[in-house]
A and B are shown apart, each in its own frame.
Chain A
Amino acid sequence: MDAQLAQYIPVLILLVLAGAVSGGMLLLAHWLGKAGRRTAAKDMAYECGMVPVGGGSTRLAVKFYLVAMLFILFDIEVVFLYPWAVVFRELLREAATANLIFWAMVSFLGVLFAGYLYAWRKGALDWHEPRRAGSPAAPNRSR
């Protein structure tokens, strides 16, 4: 096995250990736990003592999907920054590559920032819909 892969052996050992701890706890509690009676009230979804209304899965705001999409975009760009950060000082020492590595990343960050500003201007980062001039202070949602 090559050295690159061999350094992950301890991670594998830790994974087995962590899995054993989690799985062991689940099983142990399952065996040791006192079995109680099953009643209709006990099987009810907990909603602060009220009888649940409607099904379990509710509709959720589309804003959450938007956050997820923005996350994927920005997180990928963050990952691109890591290799650059690692080699940055090394390449700065050589006169031939110093300016290249700097300006390459400045332009990348520039594009990233332009996209960010666009998302902000479009209101993608606003959790509440932006209030437009002339609209009532509290939007009337009944209509």
Chain B
Amino acid sequence: MDWLNQLNPTQQFVIFSAVKALVAVVVLLSIVAYTVLAERKICAAIQDRIGPNRAGPWGLLQPAADAIKAFLKEDFIPAHVRKVYFWLAPALAMTPALLTIAVIPFGSQLGAQKMVIADLNVGVLYTFGIVSLGVYGIVLAGYAANSKYPFLGGIRASAQMISYEIAMGLSVIPVFLLVGSLNLSRVIEYQAGGLFDWLVFKQPLAFAIFVAAAFAETNRLPFDLPEAEQELAGGYNVEYSAIKFAMFFLGEYANMVAASALMVTLFLGGWTLPWAGLNQPAATLAGGLAHVGIFLAKVLGVLVVFIWVRWMWPRFRYDQLMDLGWKRLLPLALANVLFTATFLWARA
């Protein structure tokens, strides 16, 4: 490791950033692959079936089998589609999903390295900005297909995602009123004091609105109207096949993982646990790894809830979806902002 110490700080920074980004993307994609398997297994258990069990022990190689299948299938492009957008849409659906994780601290530190890819001072604003880009992939997919059902699915998706973005953006403002910074590392520091410093206990209403909006933003049941199979024959991705089809799902699951990670960071204490000194930045390598483990465990826990909800709840009707977003969550979130601000002002 001598050559590492001989580099100047900028070069070291770039190399460490690249390593962290590479590891984060690999881990994220593996989590995505196995979340799909977990979803199928949990769904099977809920519906009293066995689920995939042919590929490898307990079906553990199923993600690999699916990937090989998706790559080897015919990459068919129907004659009636708009070709450039047809190619662009899957990439645009997937890239932002991978980018959202940049600012989320997935551990305290390993050695001298902070376990976050980019410790931006604008923190959560970056995440919301990138999350909004995800809608382009879906709308473009609907437009590119040049066919009725995908078009409807794409339009529905854009209206749904922009509606819930407002509720999502408003719901977290009380969090930043309390923390006084948009940087996500600061948010975790704020929650490090003890279990009841976790913002889920200080801002339960904000958490509830954020969870509902996160489900809608990731197009998950009970808000999966963009791909309502019974009405739209599958929605914006009907005309896609092979890996392009799979990429929309990878993007959706990556968004789900990112939303879970954001939820854990903003409300559930991030990589901290209030016991055994795990709420302080790690001094040892083992402590650093423990923090990464805690963070991943929390994220996986939230992911299981995502999957569980999907198989337990019926789908909303479109007007109910719009009503919930605009007439319930938005005023509630506004009231929560006002209430929190008034509380802080009265106490000062």
Residues of A within 8 A of B (CB): 6-11, 13-15, 17-19, 21-23, 25-26, 28-30, 32-36, 38, 42-48, 52, 54, 56-58, 60, 64, 67-68, 70-71, 74-75, 78-79, 81-82, 85-90, 92-93, 98, 102, 105-106, 109, 112-113, 116, 120, 125, 127-128
Contacts and interface: CB of A to CB of B under 8 A. Distances in A.
A26 B13 contact: no
B118 A11 contact: yes
B117 A14 contact: yes
Contact of B334 (A38, A71, A109): A109
A55 B173 CA distance: 45
Contacts of A18: 25, 94-95, 98-99
Contacts of B334: 109, 112-113, 116
Interface in B330-348: 330-331, 334, 337-338, 341-342, 344-345, 348
A93 B180 CA distance: 12
Interface string B1-38: 00000000010011001101110110001000000000
Given A26-B90, A29-B243, A56-B148, A90 B180 contact: yes
A45 B80 CA distance: 7
11 contacts: A17-B98, A19-B95, A25-B247, A33-B74, A45-B148, A47-B147, A47-B149, A56-B80, A64-B155, A79-B169, A127-B322
Contacts of B58: none
Contacts of B148: 45, 47, 52, 54, 56, 58
A92 B163 CA distance: 32
Contacts of B24: 14
Contacts of A120: 327
Interface in B86-126: 87, 90-91, 94-95, 98-99, 101-102, 117-121, 125-126
Nearest to A45: B147
A-B residue pairs, 10 tightest by C-beta: A29-B243, A45-B147, A127-B319, A56-B146, A18-B98, A10-B17, A33-B75, A10-B118, A22-B91, A85-B176
B69 to A, nearest CB: 11
Contacts of A85: 173-174, 176-177
A90 B181 CA distance: 10
Contact of A47 (B165, B233, B342): B233
B73 interface: yes
B295 interface: no
Contact of A127 (B75, B91, B180, B323): B323
A134 B1 CA distance: 82
Given A44-B80, A60-B155, 11 more contacts: A14-B98, A14-B117, A17-B98, A29-B71, A56-B145, A67-B162, A81-B337, A89-B344, A92-B348, A109-B334, A125-B326
Nearest to A61: B155
Q: Chain B interface residue count: which class? A: 35 or more
B147 A56 contact: yes
Contacts of A67: 159, 162-163, 322
B151 A25 contact: no
**Among B14, B99, B326, residue most surrounded by chain A Cβ atoms (within 10 Å):** B326
B59 interface: no
B171 to A, nearest CB: 10
A71 B165 contact: yes
A88 B74 contact: no
Given A7-B120, A8-B120, A64 B344 contact: no
A10 B21 contact: yes
Contacts of A127: 318-319, 322-323
B25 A21 contact: yes
A120 to B, nearest CB: 7
A2 to B, nearest CB: 13
A48 B231 CA distance: 10
A58 B156 CA distance: 13
A46 B145 CA distance: 10
A17 B21 contact: yes
B244 interface: yes
B21 to A, nearest CB: 4
A11 B102 CA distance: 6
Contacts of B319: 127-128
Given A7-B121, A32-B72, A46-B147, A116 B17 contact: no
A81 B170 contact: yes
Contact of B151 (A9, A43, A57): A57
